[in-house]
Amino acid sequence: MLDKIKKLKNKYDFGIIKFSKEFLKNNIIEESKFNWVKSVIVFIFPYDSKTQKYNYLPAKLSYGVDYHKIVKREIELFLTELGEIGKVEILVDNSFLDEKQIAIKAGLGIMGLNNLLISKNGSYNVIGEVLSDYQFEKYDDFDFKKCIECNKCVIECPTNALENGYNRKNCISYLNQSKTNRFDLLEKMSNYYGCDICQDVCPYNKGLSRGLKEFAFNLDSVVTLDEMLNIDENIFNSKYSEKSFHWIGYLKIIRNLLFLYQKEGLLTKKHLELAKKKNTNNEDWFNNTIDYFVRKKEYVN
């Protein structure tokens, strides 16, 4: 087994750690979900960090095919090469474990002030893991280490979300995925899904733009307000089901694009009228957004 693991290290970025309850994201998780787990194999997969020149883009982790699907597939391939290790469960993102913490323990990187795992290839990585009841002969056990704390991410965050540690309530990535009325903060977004500012300014990411080919930029990621207002929710759901931004839903993408158009001075009264009609369940948060633009006369003609 040790030889096989050594060989696989040339192909995959991973580490193997002994399971501990310390890694649970919160304590309200059912025991049966983890009481069989002895080991965790933690992986990181890089995505492209090159900024594209288009206007209406999601965060870079959504430039290509949905990472949940690709990471799962890569881990399955790894397991085929590794051989039998008993009961396994693959998790990506919607995991009950704190994935940055387990990645650090597995020796895959350090913790950035931007609240992200920084690996030897920077922070543009996604994390995935395999839980297993197999007991390995040897485990990784790396100490928690922090970045150089140059403060660039703290200074450049337009909503001061990193000022006193990470504050998700101020983080644009959190806000543009939520039904929020913090319009003053939403006005500062530059992607219709997520945000990359605290990674773009990070010195650990300079000059790197390596990534799995499936994560490479694809023109499907350019989503305009005019397109969204011309299609309906069913078409949105079928067209974008392979994209990781899809889960936030049709209305939030429209809301975010309204802000991006407003920022460019391209938001019109017609956009607002059409957007209002898309709110078929008459949701308050969306009506409030439209009212905000109208009240502030944040539109042209």
| Residues with a known catalytic role | 93
DSSP 112-149: -TTSSEEBTTBS-EEEEEEEES---S----PPP-B---
Written as six digits, the tokens of 94 are 């919607």
195 sits near ligand B12 (criterion: CB under 6 A): yes
**CB of residue 40 to ligand B12, shortest distance in Å:** 12
57 sits near ligand B12 (criterion: CB under 6 A): no
Give the contact letters, 236-275, x = binds to ligand B12 (CB under 6 A), - = no.
----------------------------------------
- Residue 160 main-chain phi, psi, to 5 deg: 55, 35
CA distance 39 to 30: 18
Give the interface segment with ligand B12, choosing from 161-169, 209-217, 220-228, 291-299 (CB under 6 A): 161-169
DSSP 202-233: -GGGTT-----GGGS--GGG---HHHHHHS-H
Give the interface segment with ligand B12, choosing from 163-171, 218-226, 237-245, 280-288 (CB under 6 A): 163-171
Of residues 5, 8, 111, 231, which one binds ligand B12 by CB under 6 A? 111
Cβ closest to ligand B12, residue 102 vs residue 267: 102
- Residue 231 main-chain phi, psi, to 5 deg: -105, 175
190-207 burial: b if 16+ Cβ within 10 Å, else e: bbbbbbbbbbbbbebbee
Written as six digits, the tokens of 223 are 């989503």
Going by their DSSP bridges, the two strands 88-92 and 117-118 should be labelled as: unpaired
Amino acid in the structure at residue 148: I
**CB of residue 84 to ligand B12, shortest distance in Å:** 26
By rule CB under 6 A, what count of residues binds ligand B12?
33
Of residues 40, 41, 57, 61, which one binds ligand B12 by CB under 6 A? 61
Of residues 48, 196, 200, 298, which one binds ligand B12 by CB under 6 A? 196
Give the interface segment with ligand B12, choosing from 110-118, 231-239, 243-251, 261-269 (CB under 6 A): 110-118
**CB of residue 115 to ligand B12, shortest distance in Å:** 4
171 sits near ligand B12 (criterion: CB under 6 A): yes
Of residues 14, 40, 48, 95, which one binds ligand B12 by CB under 6 A? 95
Which among 121, 106, 94, 129 is positioned nearest to 212, based on CA atoms?
A: 121
**CB of residue 269 to ligand B12, shortest distance in Å:** 31
Under a CB-based contact definition with an 8 Å cutoff, are residues 193 and 62 in contact? yes
Under a CB-based contact definition with an 8 Å cutoff, are residues 70 and 45 in contact? yes
101 sits near ligand B12 (criterion: CB under 6 A): yes
Written as six digits, the tokens of 45 are 């997969």
**What residue ranges bind ligand B12 (CB under 6 A)?**
25, 59, 61, 92-93, 95, 97-101, 104, 111, 114-117, 123, 125-127, 144, 165-166, 168, 171, 173-174, 177, 194-196, 198
